Amino acid sequence: MAIREISPREAYRRLAGGVRLVDVREEHERMGGMAQGARGVERAELERAPDRHAPARDEPLMLICQVGGRSLQAARSLAAQGYSEVVSVAGGTSAWQAQGLPMTPPEADYDPDLHDRYSRHLRLPEVGLEGQRRLQRARVLLIGAGGLGSPAAYYLAAAGVGTLRIADDDDVERSNLQRQILHAENRIGTAKVASAAATLTALNPRTTVEAVRERVTSANVEALLDGADLVVDGADNLPARYLLNDACVKLAIPLVYGAVHRFEGQASVFDAGRRRGEAPCYRCLFPEPPPPEAAPNCAEAGVLGVLPGVIGLIQATEAIKLLLGIGVPLSGRLLHFDALAMRFRETRLGPDPDCPLCAPGRAFPGYIDYAAFCAGG
Answer whether 240's CB lies under 8 Å from 143's CB.
yes
Answer whether 149's CB lies under 8 Å from 312's CB.
yes
Q: What are phi and psi of 309, to 5 degrees?
A: -65, -45
Alpha helices in 148-276 (DSSP H): 149-159, 192-203, 221-225, 238-251
Using the 8-state DSSP alphabet, how is residue 277 labeled?
Answer: T
How far from 318 is each of 270, 312, 364, 366, CA to CA, in Å?
Answer: 11, 10, 26, 28
Nearby residues of 328 by Cβ (< 8 Å), 6 or more positions away = none
Residue 349's region, left for phi above 0, alpha for psi from -120 to 50, else beta, is: beta
- The helix (run of H) or strand (run of E) holding residue 112 is helix 112-117
- The dihedral over CA atoms of 236, 241, 243, 249, expressed in degrees to the nearest 10, equals 150
Answer yes or no: 298 catalytic.
yes
Which of 65, 298, 358, 374 is an active site residue? Answer: 298
CB atoms within 10 A of CB 299: 10
- The helix (run of H) or strand (run of E) holding residue 256 is strand 255-261
Beta strands across the sheet bearing 230-233: 208-212, 163-167, 139-143, 230-233, 255-261, 264-270, 333-338, 343-348
Q: Residue type at 372?
A: A
Answer whether 265's CB lies under 8 Å from 276's CB.
no
How far from 288 is each of 283, 291, 342, 372, CA to CA, in Å?
Answer: 7, 9, 29, 12
The residues annotated with a catalytic role in the active site are: 298
